[in-house]
Structure 1
């Protein structure tokens, strides 16, 4: 068994009623998602030309996701049977752990697909609204309602899955939920990597040929990569990010419920569900209480929505904590007796209601702090982005250097905020390791109360970006409407960066809690094997731990390198195809010839699906290789290294990319020479470097560290049993490790041998005539 409990935990009586209420709230959130979708679809669709362009984007996005899901179905099928083979308390748990692995994967896919499906219909509605007199507020409202639909879908499916598992499986719920979280995380990682490669290959290729070489606007219909670029915004930023935030939601709940059953007994299986349920209600309040005001900056409106819902959630969570939880651990019914953790750390002390409420508030405050920090480092109105924009006057090299500096610096301060939240929550547990780890998980639950608004903020970005693309490609939007869409696009760039920062924080809290679950599982397995003396190997100065830390850090670097290199290869193919079309199709530049948009869509679809395999194999098999090859303590170090390095790397990549993107927007707004100037070309190059940073490698690190933690949690008892005790089998564990290493090495080797489909007739240095 991956988790363990101090006593049998039964959810009955009032607690059972509360879980049913949570399930009903989840269904209510899904109903609100349907309502928001209806509001968006009721808006005007604009001209026939705008509809035709949006239809092409819809068809491309739908075709890509269907092909991606067919590919991922193979991985899901293999993982289903592998989970069946892993140890658990009984056969029923093993079966339903695998079943809910599929449920988690399907829910993650559904959030991504349905979010994308609405986003590709909302873009022309936002463009049409902006084209009307006084259209700024209606356009912004449509964008926010689209995001609200995805947010409610995320909250509703996450709560529904977790509450149903608790309802039907009681004390076995944490073990079954491991499968649910693993399915959500694995599918989200694949969607993040695949969608990120798709969108950034198209974006980089379109910018390099269209903007730099041909000096035409970003979404000019003469550029063969424009449709693929707009499709990519939806499969990457909508479908990928929605799936990412859903799995963050699911995995955080999994970690909280695993630790909650150990820390608070039956109430520990209910309380972590109640907090996000409050968040579902406050997210709806945030959507309806916040309306765009005439002349108010768009980011101010969106931030107000976040702070309002976060403040209400914090207050409601504190009240709930003191109403629902006892003020003494002696009053808990599900904590009879001692367990291994209490023997090595200490008995729980303090006020459970106070500990829980402070932990939840810490998570909410951390989200607000990261929102402010990320907004400062990536917003067009603040000094960091203005400084990056100013360096464009001296060329692309200084733009890149200044953007790297912003990324490095912001990673430090963001990590300090996350670290303070994790350590502050951990200290709440006092002498009891179980309570301390549960407090960290509850901080993650506090952050979950803001997820509905966070997803809305994130989806607003690609919708506004696509709306500008539809407007520019159609040519049917007035100059005033185009300016509104440009402003909303810049706001969307900042909200995307902000939500990436908060998603990273969620990932760290969830991974830390899962890391704690891994530690408790390992300790229990060692106790059962009569090998508690092996605990000395967990000391940080043990060489196996240090080697594990290095390997965990190395995996993050390798994963990032593979993702960025995949974008580079696919983008090169796009560049060659767009150049070929400019050269060979008569009349493109004059507007009399029609580019072959479908060929570019085919290129990035094929390359993105081909390239997502290797990072996925690395994430799944690296912890298996380390655990079985070097032991349970090395695997602990591996997870610590991955969490630490992954946090810094993800923030660095996301914020550097966001700063470069908005520096380009500053220049395009008329600063430093405006569009077509040398400064503009310099910022375009900075933006193309930042594209795979912020939209491919950076966001994919979030599910990476959670997938590796979940894999480690699932294999922990098997690693211990084959390493020590009566079932020790060095031959078997070394064989498993060697096979895992061989699979990773083979996948990386095959990836390195691939070359882009560049064609035979165009030398790299040549440009189209």
Structure 2
């Protein structure tokens, strides 16, 4: 592989792939299935909204959360809309085979961005309406005096069903919009579909990354600030209405976890399909435009089954048992249906595949049906294994979290150390699972690199068959968390009803950690498949300009100094990105701490309920900081590949991507699992272990949870879209780098100018980011100290 470009017998393989009449009909059916998923989502939505909303106090709190979440997301989407328009025109300048591809790529960039934003917004919109309904369902466990309370198990199951079906709505929209968008591109553009889908994937990935980073900064700034002042300094409960940061904390759960994760998994869906279709036209000819869509279409069907299977039973040990059942039933049915599809749709030999232009693949002696099935099975099994592995390291009933909880007896330092060591260890096992899965899929290709890379992409589509249930699992977490917050702030859910919500919240912490692990695996498989697409793109461009494989900048040999530097830079970007995200939370959380302290200091009546906190001021601080701070990580993700590629060449850019993928796996899992373990260790102590609430052990676990908040909900999850954005940017600029290096239009000054601009943007963004201090939260009359009417929620809590 090093320094040698493989022989491809037909250089125009993408242009020669066609959409036959039979395939067109099949893709139409797939598009119909995608629309059916949206229909199921509407049905589930109606079921959720039909549930009761509880007391007037609960409704007022829920309305305040809704107002804050809507205001933040509206401002964020307006900001991102301007950015999307700029990228639209920049994409028009990048090379393409013809103007039709350029226009389609730019148009579907906007479609991908709009679908990603819509998925995130829908997730937030329903979550902020479902949370009060879950709290109201739990309240039925405590009947008014003189009335018989409802069966506790029945109440718990009802509350859980509402929360999970809320996630089911978001899951159906995620798979429905993702599959429908890809199917439309294939129907409209046929042979040009893979190139046009690059824009679709980039739009989805960019918006998801910004929503992930911005939402993560918002939610964790509020959460950390609320915990440090409320729990640690004032000794009041987590969602006590006297804490001015509580509304912002609950708003953050929705704009960070619900909107951010929904957009994140939608772009994973889109990006895996992009890579699958690009590589599929090489490996499977005409069938490569349809089969990668068949697999996620099956996932839509099984996701519907999985959501309805999650119906708690009396025999279940916990809510996690019901969720696991839905996940594994969905995965098993997917595997069976994929086997049926592969052996029905694909021929038994590669020679029988229509449109194969690569002679090496056409002469492959394997069975395409078996290769496709095994590749997809690898992805499905990987999802199941990561689900179990992540659960082991983050569930409250498992040994690792119990050990973190026990370490609280010796103070916060040992809690932090225990959580860090757990995260580091779990990252190794997850990375090994993903690495072996990628290698196993790669081996299916035999001597053909492109077939092997397509197998990796198919493994990604296999993992996608579980995405509908995964999104449901993830949304379940913040909905349960918010429900507990509304219950505590209103004071209307007590006794056994409050315990129901506490148990659901603990299950939600585990499901969030599990879905982050699976999202990371999806990101890595997508990035690995995109790496293959990138390789194909620059090799094709090199042949078109007649560049020799011996050119240093075209070599993938890691012994080349420029490639080694690229590898190091790729790893470094992941560290810098994570550091920027965590530092952004630290600064914003500091501003929240000052503001909450100021309110307690200047309004002493807050503690005895004679004065009300100014919730809107904290929401405004978090909104402004989140929108300001997301710029630097976003620019880093877009500009770093440009700087490396135009400075060191496409070989170094390939090494850059490899370094980012490898480091990103370990960093993302480490951050997610450490944070999840700290959070559940805190829950375990609050349930009465090691002294319970108010003890020194509790204070120690609160510190651990505070450290883990930006780990698991800001930096860790944002690495997923980071990897895919960088891969897609590299894929798009590779032909331009080759042309400016070796083509008739080769120009060192132009390459240098582009590289200098990219490096300058990165340096400037980081410099100005580091110059920002912590806002003291004082109302000095300037704009930073004022509360925007657009983000100030209505007064939600009346003093008791």
TM-score calculated relative to the size of structure 1: 0.97
Residue 585 of structure 1, CA deviation? 1.5
Task: Name the SS of the counterpart of 1:286 in structure 2.
Answer: helix
Distance 1:595 1:4 in 2: 66
1:225 is matched with which residue: 231, 236, 245?
A: 245
- Asked if 1:48 corresponds to 2:69, the answer is no
Structure 2 counterpart of 1:324: 345
1:94 is matched with which residue: 99, 102, 118?
A: 102
- Asked if 1:303 corresponds to 2:321, the answer is no
Out of 538-547 and 398-407, give the one that drifted further: 538-547
Structure 2 counterpart of 1:619: 637
Structure 2 counterpart of 1:236: 256
1:197 is matched with which residue: 202, 217, 224?
A: 217
- Asked if 1:62 corresponds to 2:70, the answer is yes
1:115 is matched with which residue: 112, 123, 126?
A: 123
Structure 2 counterpart of 1:448: 464
- Asked if 1:572 corresponds to 2:590, the answer is yes
Residue 727 of structure 1, CA deviation? 2.4
Q: 1:662-691, CA deviations, whole angstroms, 9 ceiling, x for partnerless residues? A: 000010000000000000000000000000
- Asked if 1:358 corresponds to 2:379, the answer is no
Q: 1:595-645, CA deviations, whole angstroms, 9 ceiling, x for partnerless residues? A: 000000000000000000000000000000000011011001000000000
Task: Name the SS of the counterpart of 1:532 in structure 2.
Answer: coil
Which consecutive residues of structure 1, in runs of 5 or more, have no partner in the other structure?
763-769
Distance 1:102 1:533 in 2: 36
- 1:761/1:257 CA distance change after superposition, 3 Å: closer
Distance 1:347 1:330 in 2: 7
Structure 2 counterpart of 1:284: 304
Task: Name the SS of the counterpart of 2:290 in structure 1.
Answer: helix
Structure 1 counterpart of 2:493: 477
Distance 1:50 1:761 in 2: 30
- Asked if 1:523 corresponds to 2:544, the answer is no
Q: 1:317-371, CA deviations, whole angstroms, 9 ceiling, x for partnerless residues? A: 0111011011101101111464xxx5xx995331101000000000000000000
Cα pair 2:309 2:325 within 8 Å, conserved: no
Cα pair 2:161 2:310 within 8 Å, conserved: no
2:620 is matched with which residue: 591, 602, 614?
A: 602
Distance 2:561 2:441 in 1: 29
Structure 1 counterpart of 2:266: 246
Cα pair 1:349 1:432 within 8 Å, conserved: no
- Asked if 1:438 corresponds to 2:454, the answer is yes
Cα pair 1:20 1:163 within 8 Å, conserved: yes
Structure 2 counterpart of 1:147: 167
Residue 6 of structure 1, CA deviation? 5.5
Cα pair 1:4 1:521 within 8 Å, conserved: no
Distance 1:32 1:682 in 2: 45
- 1:721/1:235 CA distance change after superposition, 3 Å: same
Structure 2 counterpart of 1:208: 228
Distance 1:299 1:388 in 2: 21
Structure-to-structure mapping, 1:280-429, within 5 angstroms: 280-294=300-314, 296=316, 297-336=318-357, 338=359, 342=360, 347-429=363-445
Which consecutive residues of structure 2, in runs of 5 or more, have no partner in the other structure?
1-10, 141-149, 781-800
Structure 2 counterpart of 1:676: 694
Distance 1:349 1:526 in 2: 29
Residue 725 of structure 1, CA deviation? 3.4
Cα pair 2:218 2:252 within 8 Å, conserved: yes
Q: 1:11-64, CA deviations, whole angstroms, 9 ceiling, x for partnerless residues? A: 122111100000000000000111110000000110010000000000000000
Cα pair 2:202 2:728 within 8 Å, conserved: yes
Structure 2 counterpart of 1:765: none
Distance 2:111 2:327 in 1: 30
- Asked if 1:167 corresponds to 2:183, the answer is no
Task: Name the SS of the counterpart of 2:54 in structure 1.
Answer: coil
Structure-to-structure mapping, 1:490-505, within 5 angstroms: 490-505=506-521
Task: Name the SS of the counterpart of 2:606 in structure 1.
Answer: coil
Q: 1:388-416, CA deviations, whole angstroms, 9 ceiling, x for partnerless residues? A: 00000000000000000000000000000
Structure 1 counterpart of 2:572: 554
TM-score calculated relative to the size of structure 2: 0.93
Q: 1:424-478, CA deviations, whole angstroms, 9 ceiling, x for partnerless residues? A: 0000000111110100000000000000000000000000000000000000012
- Asked if 1:188 corresponds to 2:188, the answer is no
Distance 1:346 1:395 in 2: 64
- Asked if 1:75 corresponds to 2:83, the answer is yes
**How many pairs align?**
755
Cα pair 1:523 1:532 within 8 Å, conserved: no
Q: 1:295-336, CA deviations, whole angstroms, 9 ceiling, x for partnerless residues? A: 620111101100000000011101110110111011011114
Out of 348-357 and 378-387, give the one that drifted further: 348-357
Residue 755 of structure 1, CA deviation? 1.1
Distance 2:73 2:669 in 1: 27
- Asked if 1:696 corresponds to 2:714, the answer is yes
Distance 1:171 1:667 in 2: 58
Distance 1:686 1:346 in 2: 56
Distance 1:74 1:369 in 2: 41
Cα pair 2:351 2:363 within 8 Å, conserved: no
Residue 291 of structure 1, CA deviation? 1.1
- Asked if 1:633 corresponds to 2:645, the answer is no
Structure 1 counterpart of 2:772: 754
Distance 1:179 1:336 in 2: 25
Structure 2 counterpart of 1:127: 135
Distance 1:207 1:591 in 2: 19
Residue 261 of structure 1, CA deviation? 1.0
Distance 1:203 1:4 in 2: 53
Residue 757 of structure 1, CA deviation? 1.2
- 1:482/1:179 CA distance change after superposition, 3 Å: same
Distance 2:446 2:536 in 1: 17
Distance 1:33 1:346 in 2: 42
Residue 96 of structure 1, CA deviation? 1.2
Residue 734 of structure 1, CA deviation? 1.1
- 1:365/1:535 CA distance change after superposition, 3 Å: farther
Residue 150 of structure 1, CA deviation? 0.2
Cα pair 1:7 1:334 within 8 Å, conserved: no
Cα pair 1:165 1:173 within 8 Å, conserved: yes
- Asked if 1:593 corresponds to 2:608, the answer is no
Cα pair 2:13 2:358 within 8 Å, conserved: no
Structure 2 counterpart of 1:136: 156
- 1:167/1:759 CA distance change after superposition, 3 Å: closer
Residue 294 of structure 1, CA deviation? 2.1
- 1:349/1:728 CA distance change after superposition, 3 Å: farther
Structure 1 counterpart of 2:733: 715
Cα pair 2:240 2:246 within 8 Å, conserved: yes
